[in-house]
Amino acid sequence: SNTCASPALRKFIFYTLGLCSRYGNSYRLTTAVGEKVTFTTAMTPPVTPFLVVTWSFVDSKDDNINIITSSTEDITGPAYTDRITLFRSTGSLELRNLTLHDGGEYNVLIIPDGQVQQKGSCRLEMHVPVSNVTVTVSNTDLVEFNSSVSLSCSSSGSSLSFLWLNGSSEVTASDRVQFTDGNSTLTVINVTRYDQGPFRCRVSNPVSDGTSDPVNLSISFGPENINLTPSPSEEWYDEGSDISLICSADSRPAALFYWFLNGSLLSDTGAELINIQMSQSGNYSCRAFNNKTLRYETSQVSAVTALGVTISSPAAVLIEDKSSTNLTCEASGSISSTVWMKDGKSLYSSNRVSFSVDNRVVFIQPVHSSDRGTYQCQASNPVSTMTAAFNLTVNFGPHNVSIIGPSAAPLGQRVTLQCTAESVPPANFSWMFNGKETPVNNSVYIIEMLGAENTGNYTCLARNMVTTLENSTVLNLKGKKN
């Protein structure tokens, strides 16, 4: 049992729901509001009842207040009616429904029959239990090394002590960590990513404790430790290979990646090189950007070399009989021979087609509609053979304009006229009837019900908007009786 008595009366022992401890030469009892306390003496019940048992209370103003005086009758103080029980045989006292005002010094006086009076005292400390522990944060959206944050802890209760936890570890003061307002406020200066939490505030007093819900901080950092890795990793790649360039960086939030080829920003943000061509060879790098920290970091350079063959041609719009062009076979490495094909067949020189001395260039002067199609360049050396293809477009026409439809049809019948023409790009069409323009401007002219007024000459005019040429044809439509 816990002892709570004056040095002069050690045989008085007090038990309580709280804690009774000795401080120097005095005894102190600690308990919570709303609880009850029982002071139980070690006095043996006498044969003859005690003459007098008196309990009194000294409040914060040093006023001595009677709790109960029991002799031939019981005199109970007004503040203790229905709150106390005196055990007359031992002089013990139970005090219930404790409030903050019950804190102070309690004294007991017992006068046994025919014996010396006995005295004892104990100080009762009252506390409000800890409850409603909450943490508020000045800012949860933080940038590493730039931002500071304050966490404030509040709680109901009395005589509160505050302790801060980061995860399961106690937070201690340092050059970046400060405690103010009796440790109820935690300030972290120039936060780092390791300050994200979860933070908890643990509040305690001599009778209870409580812990807040966890609070996590969002701390943006990076990018850093950027790395660029090609997959697969090769010294060179065959043209047509698929390559993945993988860029990684430590960053929160996730970094945005931008890609560069030979120092120039690429239009897309991906690094999947599908069917790689020689023109895509060069030094690749990536740049990671964090839109919260506004910081960026650029990777090392990764050289990508594609070996292969390509066909190039001057970027121009080719018009039949007006334009000329050339096709150049460009190959990486040493080339011992070059063979040209068109639409899968060998290409030979003619009055319009000629070759350079090394056979790497084809000249077509002028182009004809028959020159359109797929050209192939097959470049060979003693080790390998590589082939490239190029689609050549020649704009021509319109040629061979014709109208598909009847030249005579029964009156009252639906008649459809279809105009066709050989043309690249496809021709635009318009129609005339008996020399007058009609609102029809597509390749199909429909007469819902043929009448005498619909018979006559239908002219289809085809126009090529690139060659600026036009051609027409006429169909004489006659009506016949059923």
Same domain, 453 and 430: yes
> Is residue 4 one of the residues assigned to a domain?
no
For 111-118, what is the mean pLDDT? 90
Q: How do the residues of the chain divide into helix, strand and coil, expressed in percent and rounded to 5? A: 5, 55, 45
Q: Which CATH number fits the domain that encloses residue 288?
A: 2.60.40.10
**Among 340, 19, 462, 387, CA closest to 208:** 19
Mean of pLDDT over the chain: 88
> Is residue 5 one of the residues assigned to a domain?
no
Rounded CA-CA distance 22/419 in Å is 116
pLDDT at 20 over 90: no
Q: pLDDT tens for residues 100-109?
A: 899 889 999 9
> Is residue 236 one of the residues assigned to a domain?
yes
Give the count of domains, the chain.
5
> Is residue 269 one of the residues assigned to a domain?
yes
Per-residue model confidence (pLDDT) at position 110: 94
Per-residue model confidence (pLDDT) at position 21: 39
* pTM for the structure as a whole: 0.55
For 217-245, what is the mean pLDDT? 87
Same domain, 50 and 143: no
For 9-31, what is the mean pLDDT? 47
Same domain, 189 and 156: yes
> Is residue 14 one of the residues assigned to a domain?
no
Residue owning tokens 């050059």: 175
Task: Give the end of a domain, one of 277, 304, 331.
Answer: 304
* DSSP reduced 3-state for 380: strand
Per-residue model confidence (pLDDT) at position 323: 94
Distance of CA 56 to the CA centre of its chain: 67
Q: pLDDT tens for residues 401-444?
A: 999 999 999 999 999 999 999 999 999 999 999 999 999 999 99
Rounded CA-CA distance 112/220 in Å is 76
Same domain, 211 and 233: no
Please tell me which residue, 41 or 85, carries the higher pLDDT value. Answer: 85
> Is residue 248 one of the residues assigned to a domain?
yes
- Predicted confidence band of residue 383 (pLDDT cuts 50, 70, 90): low
Q: pLDDT tens for residues 178-222?
A: 999 999 999 999 999 999 999 999 999 999 999 999 999 999 999
Rounded CA-CA distance 434/442 in Å is 18
Q: What are phi and psi of 338, to 5 degrees?
A: -135, 130
Same domain, 135 and 151: yes
Task: Give the end of a domain, one of 258, 280, 304.
Answer: 304
For 256-276, what is the mean pLDDT? 82
For 123-151, what is the mean pLDDT? 93
Same domain, 119 and 25: yes
Task: Give the end of a domain, one of 392, 416, 437.
Answer: 392
Same domain, 26 and 119: yes
Same domain, 121 and 209: no
Same domain, 174 and 160: yes
Are the C-beta atoms of 14 and 107 separated by less than 8 Å? no
> Is residue 222 one of the residues assigned to a domain?
no
Rounded CA-CA distance 239/332 in Å is 10
Rounded CA-CA distance 80/93 in Å is 12
Per-residue model confidence (pLDDT) at position 334: 65
- Predicted confidence band of residue 274 (pLDDT cuts 50, 70, 90): confident
Same domain, 207 and 271: no
Q: In Å, what is the CA distance from 190 to each residue of 95, 106, 149, 265, 293?
A: 53, 53, 8, 34, 13
Same domain, 123 and 44: yes
> Is residue 10 one of the residues assigned to a domain?
no
pLDDT at 25 over 50: no
For 351-361, what is the mean pLDDT? 95
pLDDT at 346 over 60: yes
Give the domain range for residue 61.
Answer: 19-127
* DSSP reduced 3-state for 220: strand
pLDDT at 57 over 90: yes
- Predicted confidence band of residue 304 (pLDDT cuts 50, 70, 90): confident
pLDDT at 53 over 50: yes
For 5-30, what is the mean pLDDT? 44
For 70-98, what is the mean pLDDT? 93
> CA-based diameter of the chain, in Å?
155
Please tell me which residue, 211 or 11, carries the higher pLDDT value. Answer: 211
Same domain, 299 and 205: no
